[in-house]
Amino acid sequence: MTAAACLLAAVLYVLLSERGSGSAAGRPPPPPALLIRVTGTRCLVFVRRPGGDVLVNTTLTSGQSVRFDGPPFDVVLGDASAATVYVRGVPRPAGPTTFTVF
């Protein structure tokens, strides 16, 4: 009888542990505040804190990307048509090569 009670307790523990942690573990992480993915051949990407530190200043090639959390950011793209920009997971409409993300 004691062995059966221990087995039942162990099974309940596992089931409750999986149910409690499953929602957090199964939830995808939030998207980055800024994601720039190069879709063309190459694109100059410059990102800095407004009036402050330069976070990236480089030319990326097709398929490469950079991501940042904790806006604000000043962004300059050498060719806006060569990159897809996501702000908090939402694609930003194509437009000017210089913009700020708050």
- Residue 7 is predicted with a pLDDT of 46
CA-based nearest residue to 44, from 82, 84, 85, 78? 78
In a domain, 1, yes or no: no
In a domain, 22, yes or no: no
- Residue 22 is predicted with a pLDDT of 45
In a domain, 27, yes or no: no
In a domain, 17, yes or no: no
Residue ranges of the chain with per-residue pLDDT less than 70: 1-25
- Residue 12 is predicted with a pLDDT of 46
- Residue 95 is predicted with a pLDDT of 82
What residues make up the domain containing 71?
A: 34-101
Number of structural domains found in the chain: 1
Q: Are 34 and 77 in contact (CB under 8 A)?
A: no
In a domain, 90, yes or no: yes
- Residue 71 is predicted with a pLDDT of 92
pLDDT one-digit tens code per residue, 6-16: 444 554 455 44
Q: What DSSP string runs through 46-85? A: EEE-TTS-EEEEEEEETT-EEEE-S--EEEEES-GGGEEE
- Residue 81 is predicted with a pLDDT of 94
- Residue 84 is predicted with a pLDDT of 97
- Residue 3 is predicted with a pLDDT of 52
- 102 to each of 65, 66, 75, 89, how far by Cα in Å? 20, 17, 11, 14
In a domain, 13, yes or no: no
In a domain, 26, yes or no: no
In a domain, 85, yes or no: yes
